[in-house]
């Protein structure tokens, strides 16, 4: 018999899948690291378990403890699955711009979900940064995860996602393109791939309304870059410690409309039913066209599953209301 001891053992070793139609205009091979095959349907399962294991190992998380995190949903899902297997409670703080599906899913796996307004600055006591921090201080036997600054986030990708991409491409990968939120994925994968071959180029996909691209290019944290946007999962109004700007060669920004439209196109033209940041990521790859040549092997990472976006991206009334489709 071949079986996993528990659901957490099925995390990782996701497939690499070729893009065929959407990338037809590019000269090179484009492969997607298809992270929805993880049990929580996103890449975040990897770092959620690693953050918990590291916190257990050094005593920050104790038996029967409560895990507290500000999460847009996917990290929460990974943490919740691990908490069930390992016997912890979870409280997640989420901003009200996130899809209802994400909140319902977190409640379905037993987490308590606290919803906070999105349109307040991070320093406001109502913001989800502030509320999660406060709950961490007030709840007995609790541990505040802080995926933005927790180094185990990046380490998880250095130890699993990066090596998988290297091995699956037989070391032939030349470019890695990925959406950036906490920065854990790009920094962990990017450091690993650059350690194996410093010539590999690492590109981040950013949103309009986020500080990353400008900061990377100028070293200036420009508050004028910060304004509300619709794309979920990527872009920030802070500089998380997990973004290692040193391993990133550049950023490209994708509009909300393009991210949404390309998410639909992935489903309809490639049979890839994915989340909002996957549309941003593939549009980012297309925007970088001039950087690719015939023999390049471009790997783009798709973070999460389409089921969490059926009320938005996959709902044409919502798409029309945003002005994203006619």
Nearer to ligand PMP among residue 152 and residue 277 (C-beta): 277
Cβ neighbors of 181 (< 8 A, separation 6 or more) are 72, 233, 234, 235, 236, 277
CB of 133 to ligand PMP, least distance (A): 18
CB 319 within 8 A of CB 313: yes
Among 65, 113, 277, 288, binds ligand PMP (CB under 6 A): 277
Q: Map residues 222-251 to x or -, x wherever contact with ligand PMP holds by CB under 6 A.
A: -----------xx-----------------
Residues 179-208 that bind ligand PMP (CB under 6 A): 179-186
Q: CA of 50: how far to CAs of 130, 151, 240, in Å? A: 24, 10, 18
Q: Reading across the β-sheet that carries 175-179, which strands appear in turn?
A: 16-18, 29-34, 297-302, 175-179, 201-207, 250-254
Stretch near ligand PMP under the rule CB under 6 A, chosen from 90-98, 132-140, 175-183, 292-300: 175-183
- Check if 196 is active-site: no
Instruction: Please tell me whether residue 65 binds ligand PMP under the rule CB under 6 A.
Output: no
Catalytic residue among 44, 50, 253, 283: 44
Stretch near ligand PMP under the rule CB under 6 A, chosen from 110-118, 127-135, 178-186, 222-230: 178-186
Of 13, 15, 103, 12, the closest CA to residue 49 belongs to 12
What is the chain's alpha carbon radius of gyration, rounded to the nearest angstrom? 19
Cα distance between the two ends of the chain: 53
Among 175, 194, 303, 305, binds ligand PMP (CB under 6 A): 303
CB of 276 to ligand PMP, least distance (A): 7
Nearer to ligand PMP among residue 16 and residue 139 (C-beta): 16
Stretch near ligand PMP under the rule CB under 6 A, chosen from 28-36, 57-65, 173-181, 215-223: 173-181
According to DSSP, residue 68 is labeled E
Stretch near ligand PMP under the rule CB under 6 A, chosen from 4-12, 123-131, 174-182, 254-262: 174-182
Q: Where are the alpha helices (DSSP H) in 157-275?
A: 162-168, 184-196, 212-218, 256-270
Number of residues that bind ligand PMP (CB under 6 A): 16
Nearer to ligand PMP among residue 11 and residue 234 (C-beta): 234
CB of 205 to ligand PMP, least distance (A): 9
CB of 185 to ligand PMP, least distance (A): 3
Q: CA of 64: how far to CAs of 73, 84, 152, 257, in Å? A: 22, 11, 21, 44
**Rounded to 5 degrees, what are φ and ψ at 297?**
-120, 105
Q: Where are the alpha helices (DSSP H) in 150-251?
A: 151-156, 162-168, 184-196, 212-218
Residues 247-276 that bind ligand PMP (CB under 6 A): 275
Stretch near ligand PMP under the rule CB under 6 A, chosen from 49-57, 85-93, 176-184, 258-266: 176-184
CB 218 within 8 A of CB 129: no
Instruction: Please tell me whether residue 72 binds ligand PMP under the rule CB under 6 A.
Output: yes
Q: CA of 173: how far to CAs of 16, 48, 193, 220, in Å? A: 12, 26, 9, 31
Q: Which residues does the annotation mark as catalytic?
A: 44
Contact residues toward ligand PMP (CB under 6 A) are 72, 74, 179-186, 233-234, 275, 277, 303-304
């Amino acid at each position: 018999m071949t079986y996993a001891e528990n659901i957490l053992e099925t995390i990782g070793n996701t497939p690499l899948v070729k893009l065929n139609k959407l990338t037809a205009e590019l000269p090179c091979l484009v492969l997607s690291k298809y992270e929805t095959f993880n049990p929580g349907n996103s890449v975040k399962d990897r770092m959620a378990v690693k953050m918990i294991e590291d916190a257990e190992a050094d005593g920050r998380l104790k038996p029967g403890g409560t895990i507290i995190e500000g999460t847009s949903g996917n990290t929460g899902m990974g943490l919740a699955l691990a908490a069930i297997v390992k016997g912890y409670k979870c409280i997640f703080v989420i901003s009200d711009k996130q899809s209802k599906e994400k909140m319902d899913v977190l409640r379905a796996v037993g987490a308590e979900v606290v919803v906070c307004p999105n349109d307040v600055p991070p320093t406001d006591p109502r913001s989800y940064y502030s509320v999660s921090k406060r709950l961490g201080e007030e709840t007995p036997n609790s541990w505040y995860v802080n995926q933005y600054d927790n180094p185990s986030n990046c380490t998880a990708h250095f130890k699993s996602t990066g090596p998988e991409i290297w091995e699956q491409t037989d070391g032939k990968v030349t470019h890695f393109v990925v959406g950036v939120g906490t920065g854990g994925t790009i920094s962990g994968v990017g450091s690993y791939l650059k350690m194996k071959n410093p010539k590999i180029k690492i590109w981040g996909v950013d949103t309009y309304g986020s500080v990353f691209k400008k900061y990377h290019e100028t070293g200036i944290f420009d508050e004028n870059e910060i304004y509300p946007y619709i794309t979920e999962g990527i872009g920030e109004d802070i500089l998380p410690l997990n973004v290692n700007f040193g391993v990133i060669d550049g950023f490209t920004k994708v509009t909300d409309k393009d991210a949404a439209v390309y998410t639909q196109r992935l489903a309809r033209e490639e049979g890839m039913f994915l989340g909002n940041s996957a549309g941003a990521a593939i549009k980012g790859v297309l925007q970088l066209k001039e950087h690719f040549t015939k023999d390049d092997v471009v790997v783009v990472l798709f973070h999460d599953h389409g089921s969490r976006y059926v009320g938005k991206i996959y709902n044409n009334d919502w798409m029309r209301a945003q002005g994203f489709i006619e």
